[in-house]
Amino acid sequence: MNSALRRKQIVYAARQVFSRKGYHAATVEDILTEAGIARGTFYLHFKSKREVFGVLLGSFTSALEMNIKRVSTTPDAPPVLDQMMGNVERLLTILINNLDLTRIMLHESRGIDPDFDRKLGEFYDNVLALIQLSLKHGQEMGVVRPCDIEVASHVVLGSVRQVMEIVIGAKKRPVSADQLGRALLDLLAGGVFVRA
Amino acid sequence: MNSALRRKQIVYAARQVFSRKGYHAATVEDILTEAGIARGTFYLHFKSKREVFGVLLGSFTSALEMNIKRVSTTPDAPPVLDQMMGNVERLLTILINNLDLTRIMLHESRGIDPDFDRKLGEFYDNVLALIQLSLKHGQEMGVVRPCDIEVASHVVLGSVRQVMEIVIGAKKRPVSADQLGRALLDLLAGGVFVRA
Amino acid sequence: MNSALRRKQIVYAARQVFSRKGYHAATVEDILTEAGIARGTFYLHFKSKREVFGVLLGSFTSALEMNIKRVSTTPDAPPVLDQMMGNVERLLTILINNLDLTRIMLHESRGIDPDFDRKLGEFYDNVLALIQLSLKHGQEMGVVRPCDIEVASHVVLGSVRQVMEIVIGAKKRPVSADQLGRALLDLLAGGVFVRA
Amino acid sequence: MNSALRRKQIVYAARQVFSRKGYHAATVEDILTEAGIARGTFYLHFKSKREVFGVLLGSFTSALEMNIKRVSTTPDAPPVLDQMMGNVERLLTILINNLDLTRIMLHESRGIDPDFDRKLGEFYDNVLALIQLSLKHGQEMGVVRPCDIEVASHVVLGSVRQVMEIVIGAKKRPVSADQLGRALLDLLAGGVFVRA
DNA sequence: TATGAATGAGCTTTCATTCAT
DNA sequence: GATGAATGAAAGCTCATTCAT
């Protein structure tokens, strides 16, 4: 079989397994069974269990990062607010459409390996930086309230992360990305409490 | 040595070790060295490495839960908003004052054991329920905007969780709970974006 | 408490425990619980778990050996056959009256310790020697058939040992020593098969 | 190496080790050294030290059981007595030719595991049942004396078991199965004592 | 004499990874 | 490329024994 194809097959099997049992509880054996291949074959394509996990996690965070568009302030660009809303909506859509990977990223990727912790940290830092950039532009444009931008970026990211738990927790009835996005964006826009 | 005291000593040593290396990387050996005791002594007081972790995690989540006060709506109670703010501030204070445990809870406690995952899930569910209760009261009092309460509760919790990453990341310079709390509460109150 | 008394108490507790769980499955903890004493107290009176077992086993084999009377051939002694029968009957009686110890001796005392294996081997060798002596006298008196005395002694001993399994196996209904003895002696006397 | 072959090799090594040191004193390490394999290899083929022992014991008792032929009473069958004698002789031959396993079965297999105790109990019960069947047929044919069949079966089994101790004890000079069998059968036929 | 907390050697077992076929 | 038997480091844990009080 084509090497690239085989890799994909293994990554896919690993995705199922990690999603089902978590990284530590999952054994290489589980992945082999899921993929229907032999032990040696696995190590022919990946250096280690960790590597597959890294690939899985890395490609997901990449996909996410690629969908966060830098806000543009050129005259013909859409309103900054719309761009920011678009980012959140796009992320939610990807996350909801890949709930297994989302679960892995949110619940299973910490404490496996200092390397992953660092990578994941960098991912979140990048996301935060992008959010902060957006917010700065937004403030310049007057569409973002004067506020502590660092904290605000964490509020946005944290809200998105936590809100995903609703979707993860909802076993059978899938949650609509649209509806959830609207509710979330409404809150991010207007705040929770009534302004004093 | 008194048995209760010894237990505390072991839990304390484990806390150091788990905080330093994470649950999986930490060995019982590490805990023994940290506590300066023999293998048998450890197992005299705890059934397993998992159990110590459970105690550590459980007592922290208990402490947190105990500091979330149900909002009171009796005539002589303080304003609901103040009560909610108080809860957030109290939590932030505990979290910041126990950064190692906070790190363990946020980064290290998933995927160790289905049991812990469940317990932690319950903890977050409880917290969310309390937040939702507060928000409902708040809406009745007119101090909370009409909004999707479930999503709003996740926004609040997610914000607190994510904001703690700022503190965890800030290695040397300790972040002031007060300052952070104010910034966070300002955002939760007023929202991030300017209302359309 | 009197030291000798305490020893007896411990030995008695150990007897219960060993009988119930066997030597290996029994822990010192079990004995402590059964005796209602503390760990240190046990080791104050016995060097080790093995020692208590040794005492238990030794005193039982001693009691048994003491009840095997050397056959007397003085003119006024009872018939040799009666003396031999008496020995078997006495042994059966003791064994049946101390089924727990019998069980321990027959089922639990091998493979614990080379020392015990040796001691037990010596015990059986002694018994065999006594039987052989009896048989020799018996042959001289014409009450024992000409036969391979060594093998015959093993037949006698083996029969007694195996027959005890009936009693051990009979959980509730106690087997009468008398009845069993008679059946056994009948067989030892007349053989199983009809002589060609 | 072929998996079945490797299993056999391990069982064989275990047999040597158990025979030399007894079950409890034997460590898995000993078996590894004897077999010249690595720790993991052992556990690749067996779940535990107990399992290998079980296999060893089980295959030996099976071999023994398979060599106890039900007595046939068809007209053209050999005399019942000859069939019974044949059984005893066949057993003795196997036991003597596998003295190490015999030693293990007689001296080392009690108290290791309730499971083994039960299995061994069942084995002896089966053997006893077969003996009893033979004796019943023998009585009907008039070649077995009227006697308590249950006790008689224990006398036969016990004699065989105990007589094996002669062979086990005789370190260097191997005992002839033939000679021993003849002496034993002579005694089982004619009894020890002269009939009153 | 009595206590029970402390000890630590040594056990069984797991599982990611290697390597000869 | 593919296989799967073999590896062995490293883990968690038990329990007979010791010792300070």
- The model's pLDDT over A26-85, given as tens digits with 9 standing for 90+, comes to 999 999 999 999 999 999 999 999 999 999 999 999 999 999 999 998 999 998 888 988
Is the model's pLDDT at D195 over the cut of 90? no
CB contact under 8 A, A183 and B151: yes
Tell me whether residue C183 is in a domain.
yes
- Give the C-alpha separation, A53 to A111, whole Å: 13
Tell me whether residue C162 is in a domain.
yes
Please report the pLDDT score of residue A143 as a whole number. 86
Q: Chain D residue with minimal CA distance to C161? A: D158
Cβ–Cβ < 8 Å for C89, C83: no
- Give the C-alpha separation, A76 to A91, whole Å: 24
Q: In D168-185, which positions are buried (b, 16+ CB within 10 angstroms) versus exposed (e)?
A: beeeeeebebeebbebbb
Conformation bin of residue C14: beta by default, left when phi > 0, alpha when psi is -120 to 50: alpha
CA of A52 to C1' of E17 (A): 14
Is the model's pLDDT at D196 over the cut of 60? no
Q: What's the CA angle centered on D115, arms C161 and D88, to 5 degrees?
A: 45
3-state helix vs strand vs coil in chain D, percent to 5: 75, 0, 25
- Strand E closer than 7 Å to the CB of B7? no
Residue A1 shares a structural domain with residue A73 = no
For residue A196, name the pLDDT band (cuts at 50, 70, 90). Answer: very low
Alpha-carbon distance D11 to nearest alpha carbon in chain C (angstroms): 20
What is the overall mean pLDDT for chain D?
90
Touch B-A: 3+ C-beta pairs under 8 A:
yes
Find the helix or strand (DSSP H, E) in which A106 lies. none
- Give the C-alpha separation, D116 to D23, whole Å: 12
Residue B115 shares a structural domain with residue B152 = yes
Please report the pLDDT score of residue B150 as a whole number. 95
Is the model's pLDDT at C156 over the cut of 70? yes
Q: Chain D residue with minimal CA distance to C185? A: D193
Residues of D (79-108) placing their beta carbon closer than 7 angstroms to any atom of strand F are: none
- Identify which of C138, C187, C194 has the shortest CB distance to residue D155: C187
For residue C196, name the pLDDT band (cuts at 50, 70, 90). Answer: very low
Tell me whether residue B168 is in a domain.
yes
Residue D79 shares a structural domain with residue D126 = yes
CA of C40 to C1' of F18 (A): 9
Residue C104 shares a structural domain with residue C139 = yes
Percentage of chain C beyond pLDDT 90 is 67
- Strand F closer than 7 Å to the CB of B115? no
In C, which residues are within 8 Å of D107 by CB distance? 110-111, 117
For the residues C152-157, what does the mean pLDDT come to?
94
In A, which residues are within 8 Å of B151 by CB distance? 163, 166, 180, 183-184, 187
Which residue ranges in chain B fall short of pLDDT 50?
A: 196
Beta bridge partners of A144: B193
List the domain range (segments joined by +) for residue B21: 1-46
Residue A94 shares a structural domain with residue A147 = yes
Q: What's the CA angle centered on A99, arms A65 and A6, to 5 degrees?
A: 80
Q: Which of D147, D141, D127, D129 is nearest to D188 (CA)?
A: D147
Maximum CA pair distance of chain B? Answer: 66
For the residues C66-82, what does the mean pLDDT come to?
90
Residue A125 shares a structural domain with residue A36 = no
Residue with more model confidence, D118 or C175: D118
Interface with D, mutate which of C57, C155, C164 (most D CBs under 10 A): C155
Tell me whether residue B196 is in a domain.
no
Percentage of chain B beyond pLDDT 70 is 98
Tell me whether residue B56 is in a domain.
yes
Residues of D (42-81) placing their beta carbon closer than 7 angstroms to any atom of strand F are: 43-45
- Identify which of A81, A108, A135 has the shortest CB distance to residue B111: A108
CB contact under 8 A, A189 and B196: yes
Give the nucleotide at minimum CA-to-C1' distance from A25: E15
Instruction: Report residue B31 as tokens.
Output: 């805990």
Q: Chain B residue with minimal CA distance to A21? A: B111
Residue C10 shares a structural domain with residue C29 = yes
Tell me whether residue B155 is in a domain.
yes
CATH of the domain at B16: 1.10.10.60
Q: Chain C residue with minimal CA distance to D155? A: C159
Q: Chain A residue with minimal CA distance to B144? A: A193
Tell me whether residue B195 is in a domain.
no
Touching C (3+ Cβ pairs <8 A), the chains are: D
Alpha-carbon distance B26 to nearest alpha carbon in chain A (angstroms): 11
CB contact under 8 A, B163 and A184: no
Is the model's pLDDT at C195 over the cut of 60? no
Residue ending a domain, choose from A10, A25, A46: A46
Residue A160 shares a structural domain with residue A107 = yes
CATH of the domain at C158: 1.10.357.10
Give me the number of domains chain D comprises.
2
CA of D44 to C1' of F5 (A): 9
Residue B58 shares a structural domain with residue B143 = yes
Is the model's pLDDT at D97 over the cut of 60? yes
| CB–CB contacts below 8 A, C to D | 171
User: Nucleotides of chain E within 7 Å of a protein C-beta?
Assistant: 1-20
CB contact under 8 A, D147 and C192: yes
Is the model's pLDDT at A193 over the cut of 70? no
Please report the pLDDT score of residue A27 as a whole number. 95
Touch B-D: 3+ C-beta pairs under 8 A:
no
| CB–CB contacts below 8 A, A to B | 169
Residue B184 shares a structural domain with residue B166 = yes
Amino acid, res. C60: F
CB contact under 8 A, C161 and D163: no
Please report the pLDDT score of residue C193 as a whole number. 63
* Backbone torsions φ then ψ of B144, nearest 5 degrees: -120, 130
Touching B (3+ Cβ pairs <8 A), the chains are: A
Instruction: Report residue B101 as tokens.
Output: 């445990």
Residue D123 shares a structural domain with residue D140 = yes
Tell me whether residue A196 is in a domain.
no
Residue B38 shares a structural domain with residue B54 = no
- Strand E closer than 7 Å to the CB of C1? yes
